[in-house]
């Protein structure tokens, strides 16, 4: 018997996502998925399916008004399949990476999940699904009870909306089923319960599965030491939440079109929510078109960074940002190794962080050039839209429904690349060993700066 050909996980991932998107696009372009009196073109259906599977949340049509309940449930299923697939695959890659490099992390994850046999894979998916279901059930229950009691929604409607938005929030999808008069979560601006429930689900989903597993272990074993990765993710996430809240508050505090009408407490909650949602949930409580320049800039930056690895969030990731900043500190201090929280970081990890950030910036710039050539919106709205699509955020300054066909195709491809790209790159980096060079070239220095 010849050797068994190993499947290429990067190809499996890319084709699997494409297959689910195509299936979803076909389903959403059938009349049973539409509200009576509405039509959805195949391009719009495909765009919606891509946005759902890639847990982005950019929409060319209002979801509640255009799609029937059946259509909305298809979208919800696409979000859950996409989110679960991303969580599972990225955790799997994390294990593969860990397998090659860190003995300790491998032990941690393998102890929970077993070996990477087919049985271990099934166990991994079930484990991730159980954690996901736990968060979603708790979130849906809280939302249902609150909307039923505090907003006088009928119980059935409150339960449906509670489930939809809990799933959408934990998977960082950003889809909503409120009408276009006050879309997304605008009617809940400044509400502390909604901010904390939906914001909490977003943050939890964005921390990544390895961090959730590490934290869960700490809860069960108080003497368990959190990994460097977990500590780095938690500190960077906290710092970005504080920074984002301050910037959004500075931008909107006295803007009568956004926060100006809220109480000081309400303004705080709205600022906190608008610091959470760009990383990379995509709900909004404040009307996006009315935000000041400062908030728009802060939102673009937060969207570009995004959440943490091995979760449902997009962007270049918190750890990447932390490593870039740590490299600056080390270079300015004249240190020749990168030490963070009393641990040395391997040079190859820093190179990977740098490569990811540069590739992300390059992709955003290239797509923006294409959008400026083939879709005539302002530079600000275009950059915002492209960063939002790449980071699978789903916020928009309002141009998504007005995109040309070329613009829709570009944004659709950017959502796909932003979701699948970094993962497949991670696979490639994981599977390929260091190639020894045939030639050892002489060293030569170059001036920079």
The item of a copy of itself, K ion, none sharing an interface with residue 174, based on CB under 5 to 8 Å by kind, is K ion
Nearer to a copy of itself, 166 or 316 (CB): 316
Give the three-state DSSP class for 340. Answer: strand
The item of a copy of itself, K ion, none sharing an interface with residue 23, based on CB under 5 to 8 Å by kind, is none
Contacts with K ion, 344-383, as mask; x by CB under 5 A: ----------------------------------------
CB 392 within 8 A of CB 172: yes
Nearer to a copy of itself, 187 or 218 (CB): 218
319 interacts with a copy of itself by CB under 8 A: yes
CB of 440 to a copy of itself, least distance (A): 8
Q: At how many degrees (to 10) do helices 69-100 and 209-220 cross?
A: 70
The item of K ion, a copy of itself, none sharing an interface with residue 145, based on CB under 5 to 8 Å by kind, is none
Contacts with K ion, 55-84, as mask; x by CB under 5 A: -xx---------------------------
Report 325-354 residues binding a copy of itself (CB under 8 A): 325, 327-328, 330-337, 339-340, 342-354
282 interacts with K ion by CB under 5 A: yes
Distance CA 2, CA 21 (A): 35
CB 86 within 8 A of CB 128: no
CB of 92 to a copy of itself, least distance (A): 12
Report 168-197 residues binding K ion (CB under 5 A): 172, 174
98 interacts with K ion by CB under 5 A: no
Strand partners, 340: 343
Which residue in 269, 297, 299, 296 sits closest to 285, CA to CA?
A: 269
Cis peptide bond N-terminal to 107, omega within 30: no
Stretch that binds a copy of itself, among 126-134, 151-159, 281-289, 377-385 (CB under 8 A): 377-385
CB of 14 to a copy of itself, least distance (A): 15
The item of K ion, a copy of itself, none sharing an interface with residue 446, based on CB under 5 to 8 Å by kind, is a copy of itself
Structure tokens, 420: 């699948």
Scanning the structure block, which residue is given the tokens 């847990």? 55
CB of 370 to a copy of itself, least distance (A): 10
Distance CA 333, CA 425 (A): 32
Structure tokens, 358: 């540069």
The item of K ion, a copy of itself, none sharing an interface with residue 309, based on CB under 5 to 8 Å by kind, is a copy of itself
Contacts with a copy of itself, 67-106, as mask; x by CB under 8 A: ---------------------------x--xx--xx-xx-
Contacts of 82 (CB under 8 A, 6+ apart): 17, 20, 52, 53, 54, 55, 171, 173, 419
Distance CA 271, CA 190 (A): 8
Given 85, 278, 307, 394, the residue binding K ion (CB under 5 A):
394
24 interacts with K ion by CB under 5 A: no
Task: Output phi, psi for 338, to 5 deg.
Answer: -95, 115
Q: Count the neighbouring beta carbons within 10 Å of the beta carbon of residue 309.
A: 26
CB 116 within 8 A of CB 153: no
Report 120-149 residues binding a copy of itself (CB under 8 A): none
Nearer to a copy of itself, 135 or 209 (CB): 209
CB 69 within 8 A of CB 164: no
Contacts of 77 (CB under 8 A, 6+ apart): none
Residues that bind K ion (CB under 5 A): 56-57, 172, 174, 280, 282, 394
């Amino acid at each position: 018997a010849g050797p068994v050909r190993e499947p290429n996980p990067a190809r499996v991932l890319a084709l699997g996502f494409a297959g689910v998107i195509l299936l979803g696009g076909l389903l959403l372009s059938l009349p049973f998925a539409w509200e009576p009196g509405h039509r959805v073109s195949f391009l719009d259906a495909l765009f919606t399916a891509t946005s759902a599977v890639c847990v982005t949340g950019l929409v060319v049509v209002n979801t509640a008004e255009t799609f029937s309940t059946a259509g909305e449930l298809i979208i919800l299923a696409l979000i859950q399949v996409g989110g679960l697939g991303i969580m599972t695959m990225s955790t799997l890659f994390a294990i593969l990476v860990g397998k090659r490099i860190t003995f300790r992390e491998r032990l941690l994850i393998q102890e929970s999940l077993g070996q990477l046999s087919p049985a271990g894979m099934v166990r991994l998916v079930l484990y991730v699904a159980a954690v996901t279901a736990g968060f979603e059930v708790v979130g849906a229950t809280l939302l249902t009870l609150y909307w039923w009691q505090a907003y006088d929604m009928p119980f059935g409607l409150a339960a449906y909306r509670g489930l939809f938005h809990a799933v959408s929030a934990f998977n960082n999808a950003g889809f909503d089923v409120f009408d276009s008069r006050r879309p997304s979560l605008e009617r809940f601006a400044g509400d502390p319960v909604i901010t904390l429930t939906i914001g909490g689900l977003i943050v939890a989903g964005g921390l990544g599965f390895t961090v959730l597993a590490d934290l869960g272990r700490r809860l069960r074993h108080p003497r368990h030491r959190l990994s460097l990765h977990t500590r780095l993710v938690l500190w960077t996430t906290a710092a970005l939440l504080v920074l984002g809240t301050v910037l959004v508050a500075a931008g909107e505090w006295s803007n009568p079109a956004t926060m100006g009408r809220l109480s000081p407490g309400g303004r705080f909650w709205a600022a906190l929510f608008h610091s959470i949602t760009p990383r990379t949930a995509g709900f909004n409580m404040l009307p996006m078109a009315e935000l000041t320049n400062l908030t728009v800039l802060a939102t673009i930056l937060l969207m570009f960074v995004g959440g943490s690895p091995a979760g449902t969030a997009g962007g270049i990731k918190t750890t990447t940002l932390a490593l870039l900043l740590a490299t600056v500190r080390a270079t300015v201090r004249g240190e020749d190794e990168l030490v963070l929280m009393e641990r040395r970081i391997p040079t190859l990890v820093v190179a990977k962080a740098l490569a990811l950030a540069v590739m992300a910036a390059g992709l955003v710039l290239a797509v923006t050039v294409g959008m400026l050539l083939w879709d005539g919106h302002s530079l600000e709205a275009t950059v915002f839209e492209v960063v939002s699509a790449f980071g699978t955020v789903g916020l928009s300054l309002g141009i998504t429904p007005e995109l040309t066909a070329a613009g829709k195709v570009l944004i659709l491809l950017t959502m796909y690349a932003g979701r699948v790209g970094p993962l497949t790159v991670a696979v490639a980096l994981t599977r390929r060993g260091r190639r020894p060079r045939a030639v050892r070239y002489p060293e030569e220095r170059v001036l920079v700066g």
